[in-house]
Amino acid sequence: MNPDRDTSTVLAARGDARARSGTAAEFMPYLPAATSPFAPDDVDPGDLTWAETVAPGGYTSRVLARGTRLRLTDVTGDACANVLLLSALGPWERLNVADTQKIPWQAYLGEGHPLLSGDGRVLATIVADSSGHHDAFCGTTSDAWNVRRYGDAAPQGPSPSGRGLLTLAASKHGLGPRDLAPSVSFFQGVRVEPDGGFRWLGSAGPGRSVDLLAEMPLVVLLANTAHPLDPRPGFTVGPLRVHAWRSAPTGPGDARFTATPELHRAYLNTRDHLEAR
């Protein structure tokens, strides 16, 4: 018990709680978002709709409007942002990693890459990328994997699994394990070797970021946990910074709208779906 804090009565406890109302934590959402101490230099703080620092081994989630631009930043070079996107109009439409690799004829995520649903629509587009170290092959870790690697996988423990954290994030939106499709991850790269095996690249370094543009209203689930192929013996993860602000979805005036026949069709499918609503 802290002798400097009096919580002996209800009134004393209320006074103690109110006295601590301005206390800030290292890892927290910033409310309102415009008060973020880490607001990007190229964004008007008044345009921010989401600002948060996600702890190593932490998770978060948010519903984003169409046209929202979401920036993820790897602060120390050890973040691993495991991301799953679902349509906020109906969560049965969700990220399809196979189509995300197939439609653009490119398995490696980078600037200009669409993140597609299984219905041939673009959930989000990667519109900026200073990292280039990402992964659309391995998914995230399971409880069994983390228990075997680190000895523990509890969400509140020292080495939570990505699957466990995404399950908690999904529950905030009335979703469960059946809604969790394979995810993609940012900031810890993977490449395919000539023999078909995977090679872990690690991080491109601290301070790198990736921007996603929401092409549909989205439920964003995010877990910041170690990559399944990370060879380091300890559970190693760094903080992840999240900022989102108002922007505009990809339209006919953007070069990527007609960059390839496949992408053009996917963007047309997306616009048709939303305009019908």
Indicate if the pLDDT at residue 249 is higher than 90: yes
Residue-wise DSSP of 175-223: --GGG----EEESSEEEE-TTS-EEEEE-S-TTEEEEEEESS-EEEEEE
Calpha distance 102→114 (Å, rounded): 10
Share of the chain above pLDDT 70, in %: 98
| Six-digit token string for 229 | 């192929």
Calpha distance 144→239 (Å, rounded): 24
Average pLDDT for 244-267? 97
Calpha distance 54→56 (Å, rounded): 7
Average pLDDT for 5-14? 83
Please enumerate in sequence order all residues whose Cβ is within 8 A of that of 8, keeping only pairs 6 or more positions apart, or say none.
none
Check: CB of residue 75 under 8 Å from CB of residue 239: yes
Calpha distance 180→56 (Å, rounded): 21
| Six-digit token string for 181 | 């499709």
Indicate if the pLDDT at residue 3 is higher than 70: no
Q: CA torsion 120→188→208→245, rounded to 10°? A: 40
| Six-digit token string for 143 | 């409880």
Calpha distance 150→39 (Å, rounded): 35
Indicate if the pLDDT at residue 1 is higher than 80: no
Instruction: Name the DSSP letter for residue 28.
Output: -
| Six-digit token string for 103 | 């439609």
Please enumerate in sequence order all residues whose Cβ is within 8 A of that of 26, keeping only pairs 6 or more positions apart, or say none.
53, 55, 239
pLDDT digits (tens, 9 = 90+) for 162-200: 999 999 999 999 999 999 999 999 999 999 999 999 999
What is the domain partition of the chain in residue ranges? 48-247+266-275
Three-state SS for 138?
coil
pLDDT digits (tens, 9 = 90+) for 117-169: 999 999 999 999 999 999 999 999 999 999 999 999 999 999 999 999 999 99
Q: Average pLDDT of the chain?
A: 95
pLDDT digits (tens, 9 = 90+) for 72-129: 999 999 999 999 999 999 999 999 999 999 999 999 999 999 999 999 999 999 999 9
Instruction: Using pLDDT thresholds of 50, 70 and 90, give the confidence band for residue 20.
Output: confident
Check: CB of residue 59 under 8 Å from CB of residue 223: yes
Average pLDDT for 45-72? 98
